[in-house]
Amino acid sequence: MAGYQSRRRVVRRGSSRSNAARQQETIRKGLIYGGVGLGALLVIVLLICLFGGPGTFTAERGTLSFSTQGSGIVVRSERLYTAEGYGKAEYIAQEGQVLMAGSPICDVYSNDYSDSDYASLKELQEKILDYQQNNAQSGIVDEDMNSLNEQIAVKTEQIRRYIAGEEAGDLDQLQREIRQLMSERSEILRNAAKEDSQLADFYAQEQTLITRIQNYKRTIVAENDGIVSFYFDGTEQLLTPANIPLLTVKNINNILNGTFRYDTDSEQTFNKPLYRLVERNNWYVVMIADEEIPQFEGNTEFTVTFSFGSDYTYTANISDHISEGGKELYCFHFTGDVDKMLRARQVSFEVSARYVGITVPKSAIKKEDGVEGVYFFHEGKKTFAPVEILISEEKEAIIRAKDPASPLKVGSEIFK
């Protein structure tokens, strides 16, 4: 009996040790498995962070297009020249001619110049021409004179038809051409005709009148390089680049509607315009819109096609934006040659742009110290890159790094 009890005790003792060992083994294995699981979880989290997951995306190249119709006014970098006290002008340069500084533009005559002197000179020159033709040495001028007379007859008819409204053209240019032809004819006859006392007297009278007329005349030359124009619409004083910030919606609407008028009570006095000298590669268009156009924000280059045709397509940037009374004024700056737009003022056009960059959801664009940008992985760290928003749509935007050397690029892992 005693032995049995002893064995039972032994058995109970042995069973208690076995249970404790098993518990310890279970705990040990649990710790091992838990450690392995935690390590695996950390590895998964690290892999998600490094190679993308629900919180990041891989940057892809994207393209968005935009276009809108508009209307506005052309503002050229030009200077309007006037000549105080002149009564008559004879243009030397042609409309739209590209001039260098110092190039002659026109001859102007003072107000005390008398048209009677000019009429007397023309009448005398007709007498000289008749006398020369009647006294020219036979056979010397026949061929040249016939050619010049035919050309002068053609020009005379063109001028007649222009004045009668039967033919379009440039009257100033036609007059310059006919004066040149008549001068050549006069020189030929002067050399061909034998000078006698009557012809000598005619020449003396002619020179006296020419000298008198020359005393009333001065030649105007270009002060700077540019394109010359003799066309005026009455808005040159207002529509200058310096005045763009001062333009109002009312100003522009009046110009677009053709109802703009100068304030006659203004202290400014406007002399009779003589010509405009226009800077070739620096001009503007101010567009009026009913609401803000988000696509116009940012430093984007736009394509502007005017309604005159596809040949009137230029590139421009927004240089100014003015909000007034629920309307928006956008100023486009052009650096293309203004030659085709030399006379344009009221214009209609299409503005378009194609934006190419990195496509991101708008939620990915954050602000750091007031600067817009995105967070992305760079060299194992979460890095902030300032960006330029090229265009922003309802849910997404096209961006590019502000710094051309930024590591942010297509393929970068960007945080949402």
**Tens digit of each residue's pLDDT (9 = 90 or more) over 65-105:** 889 999 999 999 999 988 776 777 888 898 999 999 999 99
26-30, 85-89, 201-205, 273-277: range with highest mean pLDDT: 273-277
Select the more confidently predicted residue: 6 or 15: 15
> Do residues 337 and 371 both lie within one domain?
no
pLDDT of the residue at 36: 52
Domain assignment present for residue 2? The answer is no
Residues near 347 by Cβ (< 8 Å), separated by ≥ 6?
A: 71, 72, 73, 74, 285, 306, 307
**DSSP state, residue 168:** -
Q: Token pair of 141, please?
A: 């001028």
Number of separate domains in the chain:
4
Span 294-317, mean pLDDT?
89
> Do residues 132 and 195 both lie within one domain?
yes
> Do residues 107 and 215 both lie within one domain?
yes
> Do residues 206 and 106 both lie within one domain?
yes
Q: Are strands 346-361 and 396-401 parallel, antiparallel or unpaired?
A: antiparallel
pLDDT of the residue at 5: 39
> Do residues 168 and 142 both lie within one domain?
yes
> Do residues 206 and 127 both lie within one domain?
yes
**Tens digit of each residue's pLDDT (9 = 90 or more) over 365-399:** 999 999 999 999 999 899 999 998 888 888 888 88
> Do residues 213 and 304 both lie within one domain?
no
> Do residues 380 and 313 both lie within one domain?
no
> Do residues 122 and 209 both lie within one domain?
yes
Domain assignment present for residue 181? The answer is yes
Q: Give the range among 13-27, 39-53, 74-88, 217-231 with minimum mean pLDDT.
A: 39-53
Q: Token pair of 234, please?
A: 């009455």
**Quick one: three-class SS letters along 223-266?**
CCCEEEECCCCCCCCCCCHHHHHHCCHHHHHHHHHCCCCCCCCC
* Other Cβ atoms closer than 10 A to 49: 16
Span 244-261, mean pLDDT?
86
Which residue is associated with the tokens 């518990």?
A: 23
With pLDDT > 90 as the criterion, what percentage of the chain qualifies? 36
Select the more confidently predicted residue: 316 or 18: 316
Report the phi/psi class of residue 70: left, alpha or beta, with left for phi > 0 and alpha for psi in -120 to 50: beta
> Do residues 90 and 213 both lie within one domain?
yes
Chain-wide mean pLDDT for the chain? 80
pLDDT of the residue at 11: 32
Domain assignment present for residue 131? The answer is yes
> Do residues 198 and 173 both lie within one domain?
yes
Domain assignment present for residue 409? The answer is yes
> Do residues 124 and 179 both lie within one domain?
yes
Domain assignment present for residue 42? The answer is yes
pTM of the complete model: 0.63
pLDDT of the residue at 206: 83
Select the more confidently predicted residue: 193 or 265: 193
103-117, 211-225, 232-246: range with highest mean pLDDT: 232-246
Q: What residues form DSSP beta bridges with 68?
A: 351
**Tens digit of each residue's pLDDT (9 = 90 or more) over 174-194:** 777 877 887 777 777 777 777
Domain assignment present for residue 226? The answer is no
Domain assignment present for residue 10? The answer is no
Q: Domain with 338 in it: what CATH number?
A: 2.40.30
Domain assignment present for residue 252? The answer is yes
pLDDT confidence of 310, banded at 50, 70, 90? confident
pLDDT of the residue at 15: 45
* Other Cβ atoms closer than 10 A to 414: 22
Q: Domain of residue 333: give its range.
A: 69-78+242-270+280-290+298-351
